[in-house]
Amino acid sequence: MLGFSVGLALLAVFMMRLYRDNLAQELGVDGDRVSVLAAAEDIPAFSQIERSQLTVKEYPRNYLPPRYVTKSLADDVVGQTTMYTIKKGHSISTTDLASTQSEAQLARVITPGMRALALPVNKVNSFGGLLRPKDHVDIIGTFQKPGEGDVETVTLLQNVTVLAVGAKLGAGRGAGDSKGRGGRSGRMSTVTVLVTPEEAELLVFAQDRGELSMTMRNEEDVNTEMELNGKNFADIFRPEVRRTIQRRRDESSGITIIKSKGSRGRRR
């Protein structure tokens, strides 16, 4: 009796395995499997993907997730900017990556009431390609005063958010060689910034009438300098102006000058 029961149990196990194998074959999940990139942790939107944030999941070839990215492309994915938050365990999709999105996707990151404005830049005033989306910049213009012939440089806007660098969000690369205003040549690209409609008018007019440059800010520096009056040739050739500028720089940079008897002083 015991032997009969054992035999029935073994037969049941065999039939269950046979049913499972047949079902897997019908559903197409028993064949080749593909290694797909997935998130090893939650990856925030608009952040650059790090290798430690990636893992690999195996999917049956007939049940691959939409727009999947294979394991072999991991090196290409590292450093890309995400368009959306990718939850832990979810597969990485090409639609998650900013560099694969069309320019129309830019509209998704524009704050309501604000505008995206593309400004032409070259390798010099884009910081040699180091400028990245989400950086903050000040925009400076150099102009010739109407009727006077004097040239002056003024700060137009401060603490402006960079939305994109190059043709696509997070791409950081542009196309085409050109020559910038003022005769400076170099590889041209665009920097897209987030501005108000009024600021957009100011920058478009300034771009047409002069030459624009950018200075990059520390990400934690949100202060606005209200005492900037612009600079011209008179400031360059006046020693007292240069000394004042240097003194303010020393005060703001945290550099202390220690003077001692018989010494010219040292910095610390």
What is the reported pLDDT for 159? 92
What is the reported pLDDT for 261? 42
| 18 phi and psi angles, rounded to 5 deg | -65, -40
The pTM of this model reads 0.52
Whether the Cβ atoms of residue 150 and residue 140 lie closer than 8 Å to each other: no
Transcribe 51-104 into DSSP letters: GGGEEEEEEEGGGPPTTB-BGGGHHHHTTPBBSS-B-TTPBPBGGGBGGGS-GG
Max CA distance (Å), the chain: 114
- Is residue 223 helix, strand or coil? coil
For 183, the token pair is 């005769």
What is the reported pLDDT for 230? 86
CA within 13 Å, CB half, 125: 24
Q: Put residue 163 in one of left, alpha, beta given phi > 0 → left and psi -120 to 50 → alpha.
A: alpha
Whether the Cβ atoms of residue 37 and residue 91 lie closer than 8 Å to each other: yes
What is the reported pLDDT for 178? 36
For 125, the token pair is 């005033």
- Token pair 């007019």 in the structure block, residue: 205
For 61, the token pair is 């070839």
Q: What is the pLDDT of residues 29-83, one digit of tens each?
A: 455 789 999 999 999 988 889 999 999 999 887 778 888 899 999 998 998 888 7
Kindly report the CATH class assigned to 29-100.
alpha beta
- Is residue 186 helix, strand or coil? strand
What is the rounded CA–CA span in Å between residue 137 and residue 218? 9
Q: What angle do CA 222, 225, 230 make, to 5 degrees?
A: 140
Q: What is the pLDDT of residues 240-251, one digit of tens each?
A: 888 887 887 777
| Residue type for position 74 | A
What is the reported pLDDT for 204? 95
Query: Which residue positions in the chain have pLDDT lower than 50?
Result: 23, 27-29, 102-104, 168, 170-188, 255-268
CATH 3.90.1210.10 residue spans of the chain: 29-100
What is the reported pLDDT for 147? 80
